[in-house]
Amino acid sequence: MTPIATPFFFYFLAGIAVISAIVMVTKVSPVHSALALIVTLLACAGLYLMLYAPFMAGVQIVLYAGGILVMFLFVMMLVNIEHLYVEKMLNRQWKFGLAATLIMAVLMLGALIDGFRSLPQQLVEISEQNNVQQIGQLLYGSKGGYYMFPFEIASILLLVAVVGAVVMAKRRV
Amino acid sequence: MFFLENIWMVPLMPAAGAATMLLFGRRLAKPAINAVCVGLVALSFLWSVIGVLQFTGSGMPRYEHVLYTWLGSGDGQMLFTIHNGATAEFVVNAGVLLDPLSCVWLLFVTGVGMLIHIYSMGYMAHEGGYYRFFGYLNLFMFSMLTLILANNYLLMFVGWEGVGLCSYLLIGFYFHKHSASTAANKAFITNRIGDAGVILGSLTVFWLFGTFDFTRVTDLARQHSATLMGTGMVTAATLLLFVGACGKSAQLPLYVWLPDAMEGPTPVSALIHAATMVTAGVYMVARSNALFVLAPESMRVVAVVGALTAIFAASIGLVQNDIKRVLAYSTISQLGYMFLALGVGAFAAGVFHVFTHAFFKALLFLGSGSVIHAMSGQQDMRGMGALRTKIPITYKAMLVGTLAIAGVPGLAGFFSKDEILWQAWSAHSGEFRILWYVAFATALMTSFYMFRLIFLTFFGSPRMTHEEEHHLHESPRSMTVPLMVLAVCSIFAGYLGVSPSIARFVGLHGETNRFEHFLAPVFANHVEEAVAPAEEKDEEGSASEYLLMGLSVAAAGAGWWLARRAYAVEGKQVHEPINAFAPPVYRTLLNKYYVDELYDVAFSGRATVGGARLGAIGAGEALWKVDANVIDGGVNATGWTTRAFGWFSSWWDRWIIDGLCVNGPAVITERLSKPMRLLQAGLLQWYALVMVIGVAGLLWYYVLR
Amino acid sequence: MQIGMLHYLIVAALLFVIGMVGVITRRNVVIIFMSIELMLSAVNLNLLAFSRMYGLHGQVFALFIAADAAAEAAVGLGILIAFFRNRATVNVDEVDLLKW
């Protein structure tokens, strides 16, 4: 395997991500969970950087952490979710679900570790410097702009989502 | 010819009397009843006398007059195929036939009937139901005259049934007495058995000849005698008719009703059971003589049954103590003589004996009625005695009757009975000779018991109670005059039929046996084994004839002497010689050979062994049990098996078809679907979990590969 | 050992599984939404790890996934608000109207 990043930062960021994810899942209060999730996403952004994807890292921070999670927090504030009575944290099937997901995890890891050998070696060398430009080339470029159409579709999707959110959330008069 | 042409009025006059009694009898007084009933019968007697005179004067062989068509239409419908393939029409006319045979019967039936009606005026004077008695007597006269004057088998059967009915009504006249009503039932039922034979016989005659008329049957039978001789159908027809005659004329298996019929009033016994009704059987056989000569087997049966009946009844009559019973058995015995005569082919002799027997038997019965009347109702001879001086007219009359029946020469019975004995000896070249011995023994017994009757009743010492002795008186004139008339007839009626041998013996010449000549056209059968009466033979036959005649006279005398020795004795106690000689024999005879008990066991169904009945009714019950248990059991078993199959089918349908095949998949689907339903809990997280499990499964599969 | 693509993939798998646990186990619907975001993020990581080796297409795909995640979050929260208004609860356990 070609070396990708320094081990220290990798383990550090990966550990923060995983631990913070576990914290998120196990907290009673949703606000605490949201904050834990922000930490996780920021750690993920760091991991993206190490993977020579600065643009994605930026999108992660701006969009995910700064947009979505903030929106979550706003909604939690609006709904006054702290004052709702929570008698139980976990539902009836938590043991069953936990077991299933553990099995799933084992299987996935096993599949990864076993099947990693079959993956081919590095095919393309991506550069660190002009990452954004190359992504732009792929999205909008005259030659190599494979993703123009999906981009438009994604914009329509966002429109639909906005309209949908407004419709769903507005008060029936 | 007025009386002859309207001879059909003769039965209708007593019928009118009966109808009057039916409608108005209760309101009429005794003299009125007498005038109507006795007067009408007397009128019918006069009418028949003049009619017969006109008939004989006219020189016709027979006179037939059809009044109207009774059954069938007469115009070609109701066609049947008879035994030789020809087509015959079923038509029965109501008509009268007057030929010599019916003339004889007509005269003595109306004559004796008239005398008995006169007698009854005196006898029944103190009885209740006077109008009923005369109504029934007139009805009887009507039926008997219909029987005699009918010109075909079915009309004769109407009269036959009518006399049976009147016999029942008159025997059971004192219906308050249980013994009388049961005796009436017995008579009617026994007669009915014979009637089945008459019906079947008449229909067989129709089957043979296609007609019921006597004249046509006789003509056809004589015409086809060669082809019909000895055939099975003719034998069957004649035997069936003879069964009917056995019932009506009290021959051997069916005689049991006649002694019990003495429960009726004495005039009834005299008229019906001595002179007229019981001769109906003889009349029918004589009328069918053309058929009988075609069936030699039947003739033999008739002769043998007649002879056996004669000796059987005579033996029972030897020891009976009731005066009327003795006479009843005597009647059966004499009827046996008549059938013996018919059976050996001597039809004229048989008819002659009927004629003379009517007179002396009626005389004897009326005389016994007079005795009973004098004895205030006592009928047992052991309680009589020495009545000779007390009721002399009755005694003289009964003595004449006894001499006649015993066959003492000079009186009617001698001529007729002797003729029969001679025919039995010699007819068919001696084929029936053994029957002569039987008849001879019977004659001996007849003489004995008749004289026993005379001696017990009129001689000896008085054995009656003091009361009865005081009331002894001669009967009124209405009763004694008929007795005297009948006594005269008993003496002189015989001279009508003097056989030529006797005539030669006595020295008479000229035409003798007018009776047989009179009847010749009726019995003119041209058959090979000729019924030629033996008297047409010459002198060589005469010697044995005189010998036999002498023997029968000796028998009469022997009977008189033995009876006198046994019974004409002084002393209060009656000693029966037979009892002294052989008590078991005496007991058997006294109990009439236990025939009634035998019939009771065999047919009445009153005797039971364990729980099962014996005899015919027992067989019926056994068959009923077979039917109820075996046959119905089989039916029930089929029903039960059907039910079992049905139960099995229903079980199969309910459990296998419905349960397994119809409900089964539904139940399986339901049972399987319940767990399936849980998969759709409606909870999102549950669905998510299931998806995870599914993906895990897929992964597992790929990992393990 | 040297950090290779495999390590990133393992991390992504772990994050994914943790997110799955959150989806399946928690009752609060907001937590479930956030767990879904986490799962999407883990997928992004996976994609980027592969794109490091095999080209930028993976990064573009991840970009689209991120946009899609945002839209989805918006709509989901809209549903949550509508739902909360009707039911006054945020427990997804009590929403079993899909059941027969």
What pLDDT does B528 receive? 46
Q: C-alpha angle B35/B40/B44, rounded to 5°?
A: 150
The alpha carbon of residue A142 is apart from the nearest alpha carbon of chain C, in Å, by 16
- Pick from A2, A51, A157: CB nearest C48: A51
Q: What is the DSSP string of B408-467?
A: -TTSHHHHHHHHHHHHHHHHHHHTTHHHHHHHHHHHHHHHHHHHHHHHHHHSS---S-HH
Residue B612 DSSP class: E
Question: Using 50, 70 and 90 to split pLDDT, how confident is the model at C71?
Answer: very high
Nearest-by-Cβ selection for C11 from A1, A14, A24: A14
Looking at residue B41, what is its pLDDT?
92
Does C86 contact chain B (CB < 8 Å)?
no
Q: Which of B680, B685, B692 sits opposite C99 (nearest CB)?
A: B680
pLDDT tens digits along B398-429: 999 999 888 888 787 888 888 888 888 877 66
Helices (H), chain C: 5-25, 29-54, 57-87
B680 touches chain C (CB under 8 A): yes
Pick A152 or B71 by higher pLDDT: A152
| Residue A123: strand, helix, or coil | coil
Q: Which chain A residue is nearest to residue C57, measuring alpha carbons?
A: A138
What is the C-alpha to C-alpha distance for residues B32 and B555, in angstroms, rounded to an integer? 49
Longest dimension (CA), chain C: 55
Helices B477-492 and B100-123: crossing angle, nearest 10°? Answer: 150
Count contacts between B and C (CB, < 8 Å).
32
Nearest CA in chain B to C22: B685
Where is mean pLDDT largest: B564-568, B694-698, C93-97?
B694-698
Interface membership of C3 toward B (CB under 8 Å): no
User: What are the chain A neighbours of C39 within 8 Å (beta carbons)?
Assistant: none
- As given in the structure block, the two tokens for residue B106 are 């007509």
What sign does the dihedral B539-B541-B547-B553 (CA atoms) show? negative
Tell me if B528 sits within 8 A of B522, measured CB to CB: no
pLDDT attached to residue B430: 67
Are residues B234 and B291 in contact, defined by beta-carbon separation less than 8 angstroms?
yes
Q: What mean pLDDT comes out for the span B181-204?
A: 91
CB-defined contacts A:C, below 8 A: 253
Tokens, residue B360? 């002396």
Q: Mention every residue, 6+ apart, whose C-beta is less than 8 A from residue B683.
A: A91, C92, C93, C95, C96, C98, C99
Better pLDDT: A54 or B384:
A54
Domains of chain C from N-terminus onward: 5-92 (1.10.287.3510)
Winning range, highest mean pLDDT, from B369-378, B620-629, C91-100: B369-378
Q: Tell me the mean pLDDT in the region B303-326.
A: 90
Closest Cβ opposite residue A94 in set C17, C25, C62: C25
Indicate the SS3 state at residue C70: helix
A104:B692 CB<8 A: yes
Is ipTM strictly over 0.95? Answer: no
> Which chain C residue is nearest to residue A169, measuring alpha carbons?
C78
More confident call, B576 vs B222: B222
Chain B touched by A111 (CB under 8 Å): yes
- Summarised one tens digit per residue, pLDDT across range B514-533 is 777 777 777 777 654 444 44
Q: Is the pLDDT of residue B509 over 70?
A: no
Most C CBs within 10 Å, among A9, A12, A23, A25, to test the C interface: A25
> Which chains neighbour A (Cβ–Cβ under 8 Å, 3 or more pairs)?
B, C
Work out the minimum CA distance from C21 to partner chain A, whole angstroms. Answer: 6
Cβ <8 Å between A93 and C24: yes
Span B458-481, average pLDDT: 80
Residue B57, pLDDT > 90, answer no
Q: Please state the rounded mean pLDDT for residues C72-92.
A: 83
Average pLDDT rounded to a whole number, residues B576-600 = 77
pLDDT band (50, 70, 90) for residue B539 = very low
> How many angstroms separate the Cα of B541 from the Cα of each of B88, B405, B427, B434, B480?
47, 26, 12, 18, 43
Work out the pLDDT band at B540, boundaries 50, 70, 90. Answer: very low
